[in-house]
Structure 1
Amino acid sequence: MMPTTHPRRRAALAALAGTASLTLAACAGTASSASDGGHATLSWATSYFPTHWDPVVGGSGAQFRELALVYASLTRTDEHGNAVPDLAKSWDYDAAGTQVTFHLRPHLTFSDGTPVDGAAVKAAIDRAKTQKDSALFGDLTSITSVTAHGLDVVVRLGQVDYQIPQLLGERVLQVASPKAAADPAKLDQNPVGAGPFVVSRLVPGTKVTLTRNPHYWDAKDIHIDTVELTSAPDAATVVSGLQTGAYNFADIDPSQASAAKKAGLDVFVQPGFNAENISINIHKKPFDNPKVVDAVRYAVNRQEFVDKLTFGYGEVTDEPFPKGYVAYDPQSENRYPYDPAKAEQLLAEAGYRPGAVKVDLVIPAASPEAEIVQSQLGAVGIGVTITVDKNWATPFFAKDLALSLYGTTGRDSAVQTLTAHFGPNGPLNLSSPYEPAGFEAAVAKVRRTPLGSPDYAKVLQAATRTGLQSRALVFTYSDPNLYAKSKDVSALPTNPGHLDLTGVTVGGR
């Protein structure tokens, strides 16, 4: 298999976040002594070591899971994907649905001693909306203003939007100390939050040591004393690191799952919303012809991606949501089944002879996924030239490419996922400002529907169905959040899209 950028790693690249290599010899200490003397240490090797520790800059890619070690949010996600209290103990909407007030827990402080109050949360939201290098401003467009009254945070909205408690979780609003955030550049490598752990030592791009935060609101349920987060070496050496005790926890590539199991490690899939797609710009030839886009849709054999790239751990998908999730639309399932003969027919109807269509597929790094796309499209007469551009993010987000690949880690708010992919200003919509007919109206209806309404699922799925009319994306497969751990690390809560260490023990402690 050629060198590749893992699909979720591409999502991190899109957030201008990368990874660094570290040899096993550079790892100080071993996980085998993780709980010696009653001191529980989680030694975690990650492929998503944060480049940015300022959550406004680095919180939108896959690395938000690592940043959540330091930062808490207004809400967090439970095992059902619902928003539940975090820094906010409760919240309520006004009668119109255009204002939501979050009530913060009393007596909380950031690790620098600054109070966690309404003013701190207001500062976090305002900074996410206005900071020049914010990766989050596009997610907060519903919010027109924020006011603070002691421990209350009043969020005023430009439209009815009952998604806000889902939105303001750890994916979008990890709250930093306003004192530390006064110097964003310093915060970026010296994080200060009110989360379960406090940074004691950070080597940028390489390793960070975190200690249990005794002032965290749920400290009684945090049983790990120290987390040693290390930038993983290449995928082939992670399992050996787990075997030798250099680590006791790691995110792994599916290609390493079999070796990890044979080594006696626990291998598990943490639920998530990861979805891969072929991104199309309908403003550029040949994709300005809808028949060519449909030809691509029918040329895709999704099962091949699953078999060759996920080693059976992934699933075929033609939506940005997993089956069983409230936003997944059963009516849209398999709308464009694999049918290469139909793809060839559509190209002929579009006026193209076999082999006449030539396109560049621009990606950030060599990828077997790109080779599969090249092969499948080539089989129906679409010639694909793979072009690697390390600065791919610039033309992608400028919407200058005709064809690319993208992988998303998903969002806690289903509406946020929909607008990111299908909205006229969606960062994952390569065809901006194009959007499918009726999309904004369908999304507005979801926003107006309370999460507890009996109509919520029906309204949300209708919005998904409308979004999937978009000619800008062809979803292919979902890749797993795959992890391996030693037997002395207990099971993790199965909160979709997140890594929650609440209740987790090492060595029974």
Structure 2
Amino acid sequence: MPTFSRSTRTNVPNLNRRTFLGASLGAGLILALEACGGTSSGGASGSGGGSGGGTIKWAWQLPTTWDPVTSSAGSDVQMLALAYDPITALDEQGNAIPWLAESWTYDKSGKQVTFKLKSGLKFSDGSPLDAEAVAKSIERGRTQDGSLIAPQLATIKKVSASGELDVVVELSEVDYQYPLLFAGKTGMVVNPAVFEKDADSLATQPAGSGPFAVTSYTQNDHATMKKNSHFFAADEIEVAAFDLYPQPDPATAVAAVQSGQFNLVRIGGAQVEQAKQAGLDVDVIESMFVSCLDVHSGMAPFDDPAAVEALKFAIDREKIKEVANFGIGDVNYQPFPPGYVGYNEDLAEVYAFDPEKARSLLADAGYDKPVPVVLTSSGFAPAAVELIQAQLNEVGFEAKIETIPGTQHTQLVYIEHSKALTYDGFAGRESPVQAFQVLFGAEGLMNPNRWSNPALEAQLKKVKETPTDAAEYPALLQEATKIAVTSYPNTFLFQTPSIVVRKGVSKLPASPSLRRFEGVTAS
């Protein structure tokens, strides 16, 4: 059984985080992961494993695509994890732990890391998932045209297979973030036999090794899945099928669970009391998701730093939280929750609501008339959007709301960068450096202007060159948070837990980033 020291593994320090990371994964799965070799007998043999039945009917969200490489929404990771396995996972403290890889080793230079895979791994079609397949999958994410995970893999120089189980990642610079990075979408392994033949097919037909395999998919409507008998922890999957749907209209969500249309639904804070009165089970699961305003500093009026700063002070986040989520969640001015290694205490009240200061900032900048701005919304939380509009107008903006269809939202805001101000959210990332790259990097999906701050880049270089279990790591990361929050226009509002209502489905294991279904039963 492998052991881990600094030479073999970089760890996020145990910082006594509060419950946002939740409890550990299912006990049975953890035992399987900790067993020498790490592969359950059911997964290794390809037998069904487990004796449960039933179907989970999960109304949550459909992915923008079933291809992890071109997925354009951070929250896609929840759905993609049904069909794909990442190389590593996160434990309840946010440390990287074995998943497809049973161990990893950095060399003394910090420029090479070798991931040793579990033996007997297979893709959902039964073909071997070996070191060569993993190397090709990583290489595709790094080099394919249109890859949206390529920026996170920029320090990889070469990936190769050494034998059947060892994946050798050679880096152009020291980077101790990869065991964390590979715990999410960036580390999800796609079957090379599929993408080498027809990569476009992955948009609707995933080819992974996760707990479920898609049998049919109707875009924007639903996906039908069955238990993947080749999943390495198949013995822990207690349901035979999994149906995935978009989140229902808030007005009908609770009734849809009562009627049996769905048995597991994500709801908003407004529906919590209704669900409880209906006798349904309601779980509030802490998450890394933070509601925010995405700001394009290359478009008027936010090409003026005074307008950006006025925006940050104009928002009464507590009221927005009350309206958007019925008070569930915590006001926050930065991308990480309190207790997380990247959370900077100095920023706890950095942009506390101050409408008078917002007015003064605009007046001092020479604005003697209301400043026009278009606030873009995908239709999510319209009451919150209207409140933000009113708060902006109160301090000297002239905000108008533009609602665009959800199916076009990602394209217009994050691909075409054509909107100045958008109400949205950031789903968090397994690696804090990756979170910075997505939010603030020169190629960052949620950095509409693609502006890069040299001071932040220099600080992140220090973070990447520091093992995550080193004593100086938290301070280095928190300084990066301070630089980013005070120099970029992104306006963070509040942490948003996942609220789940269920009927006939056992409680979900709480996990740091991904919703897991090992051990979950459905009647």
Q: TM-score, normalised by structure 2?
A: 0.84
Measured at CA, do residues 300 and 176 of structure 1 come closer, stay the same or move farther in structure 2, by a change above 3 Å? same
Report the counterpart of residue 471 of structure 2 in structure 1.
454
Report the counterpart of residue 246 of structure 1 in structure 2.
261
1:71 pairs, out of 64, 71, 84, with 84
1:396 aligns with 2:410: no
Report the counterpart of residue 4 of structure 1 in structure 2.
none
Q: 1:215 is matched by which residue type in structure 2?
A: H
2:485 pairs, out of 468, 473, 476, with 468
1:103 to partner: Cα distance: 0.4
Report the counterpart of residue 99 of structure 1 in structure 2.
112
Which stretches in structure 2 are left out of the alignment for 5+ residues?
1-50
Q: 2:521 is matched by which residue type in structure 1?
A: T
Report the counterpart of residue 161 of structure 1 in structure 2.
175
Q: Is the contact made by 1:310 and 1:480 (CA closer than 8 Å) also made in structure 2?
A: no
* Separation of aligned partners in 2, 1:331 and 1:61: 27
Mean alpha-carbon deviation: is it higher for 377-386 or for 178-187? Answer: 178-187
Q: Is the contact made by 1:108 and 1:115 (CA closer than 8 Å) also made in structure 2?
A: yes
Q: Is the contact made by 2:275 and 2:281 (CA closer than 8 Å) also made in structure 1?
A: yes
CA displacement 1:402-450 (0-9 Å, x = unmatched): 3333311111111111122122332212332242x51111111110111
Q: Is the contact made by 1:272 and 1:498 (CA closer than 8 Å) also made in structure 2?
A: no
2:440 pairs, out of 419, 422, 438, with 422
1:312 aligns with 2:330: no
Which stretches in structure 1 are left out of the alignment for 5+ residues?
1-37
Report the counterpart of residue 11 of structure 1 in structure 2.
none
* Separation of aligned partners in 2, 1:195 and 1:280: 36
* Separation of aligned partners in 2, 1:82 and 1:465: 23
Paired residues for 1:149-298 under 5 Å: 149=162, 150-182=164-196, 183-298=198-313
Q: 2:443 is matched by which residue type in structure 1?
A: N
1:361 to partner: Cα distance: 2.3
* Separation of aligned partners in 2, 1:236 and 1:402: 30
Paired residues for 1:261-410 under 5 Å: 261-353=276-368, 355-365=369-379, 367-390=382-405, 391-397=408-414, 398-410=416-428
CA displacement 1:72-123 (0-9 Å, x = unmatched): 1101122222211111011011111111110001111112222111111112
CA displacement 1:164-217 (0-9 Å, x = unmatched): 111112332221221122212223322222112223344444333323223222
Measured at CA, do residues 333 and 156 of structure 1 come closer, stay the same or move farther in structure 2, by a change above 3 Å? same
CA displacement 1:263-285 (0-9 Å, x = unmatched): 11111122211112223333334
Between the aligned residues of both structures, percent identity stands at 36
Q: 2:440 is matched by which residue type in structure 1?
A: F
* Separation of aligned partners in 2, 1:229 and 1:280: 32
Measured at CA, do residues 287 and 194 of structure 1 come closer, stay the same or move farther in structure 2, by a change above 3 Å? closer
* Separation of aligned partners in 2, 1:362 and 1:211: 38
* Separation of aligned partners in 2, 1:107 and 1:156: 25
Paired residues for 1:28-67 under 5 Å: 39-58=52-71, 60-67=73-80
* Separation of aligned partners in 2, 1:311 and 1:255: 6
- Determine helix, strand or coil for the equivalent of 2:180: helix
* Separation of aligned partners in 1, 2:80 and 2:327: 29
* Separation of aligned partners in 2, 1:284 and 1:206: 35
1:60 to partner: Cα distance: 4.4
Q: 1:475 is matched by which residue type in structure 2?
A: F
Report the counterpart of residue 507 of structure 2 in structure 1.
491
- Determine helix, strand or coil for the equivalent of 1:55: coil
1:80 aligns with 2:93: yes
- Determine helix, strand or coil for the equivalent of 2:114: strand
Measured at CA, do residues 131 and 352 of structure 1 come closer, stay the same or move farther in structure 2, by a change above 3 Å? same
Q: Is the contact made by 1:377 and 1:384 (CA closer than 8 Å) also made in structure 2?
A: yes
* Separation of aligned partners in 1, 2:125 and 2:231: 12
* Separation of aligned partners in 2, 1:237 and 1:394: 28
* Separation of aligned partners in 2, 1:392 and 1:245: 31
Q: Is the contact made by 2:60 and 2:247 (CA closer than 8 Å) also made in structure 1?
A: yes
* Separation of aligned partners in 2, 1:360 and 1:428: 18
* Separation of aligned partners in 1, 2:445 and 2:217: 31
1:501 aligns with 2:517: yes
Measured at CA, do residues 171 and 272 of structure 1 come closer, stay the same or move farther in structure 2, by a change above 3 Å? farther
Measured at CA, do residues 426 and 186 of structure 1 come closer, stay the same or move farther in structure 2, by a change above 3 Å? closer
* Separation of aligned partners in 1, 2:69 and 2:233: 24
- Determine helix, strand or coil for the equivalent of 1:155: strand
1:59 to partner: Cα distance: 7.1
Measured at CA, do residues 490 and 200 of structure 1 come closer, stay the same or move farther in structure 2, by a change above 3 Å? same
* Separation of aligned partners in 1, 2:152 and 2:107: 22
Paired residues for 1:110-125 under 5 Å: 110-125=123-138
Q: 2:88 is matched by which residue type in structure 1?
A: T
Measured at CA, do residues 125 and 341 of structure 1 come closer, stay the same or move farther in structure 2, by a change above 3 Å? same
Q: 2:123 is matched by which residue type in structure 1?
A: F
Report the counterpart of residue 21 of structure 2 in structure 1.
none
- Determine helix, strand or coil for the equivalent of 2:445: coil
* Separation of aligned partners in 2, 1:174 and 1:60: 15
Report the counterpart of residue 14 of structure 1 in structure 2.
none
Measured at CA, do residues 430 and 192 of structure 1 come closer, stay the same or move farther in structure 2, by a change above 3 Å? closer
Q: Is the contact made by 1:364 and 1:393 (CA closer than 8 Å) also made in structure 2?
A: no
Measured at CA, do residues 300 and 59 of structure 1 come closer, stay the same or move farther in structure 2, by a change above 3 Å? closer
Measured at CA, do residues 242 and 396 of structure 1 come closer, stay the same or move farther in structure 2, by a change above 3 Å? closer
The alignment covers a number of residue pairs equal to 467
* Separation of aligned partners in 2, 1:231 and 1:296: 32
Q: Is the contact made by 2:393 and 2:399 (CA closer than 8 Å) also made in structure 1?
A: yes
- Determine helix, strand or coil for the equivalent of 1:209: strand
Measured at CA, do residues 444 and 57 of structure 1 come closer, stay the same or move farther in structure 2, by a change above 3 Å? same
Report the counterpart of residue 439 of structure 1 in structure 2.
456
CA displacement 1:4-61 (0-9 Å, x = unmatched): xxxxxxxxxxxxxxxxxxxxxxxxxxxxxxxxxx742242232312352222223743
Q: 1:294 is matched by which residue type in structure 2?
A: E
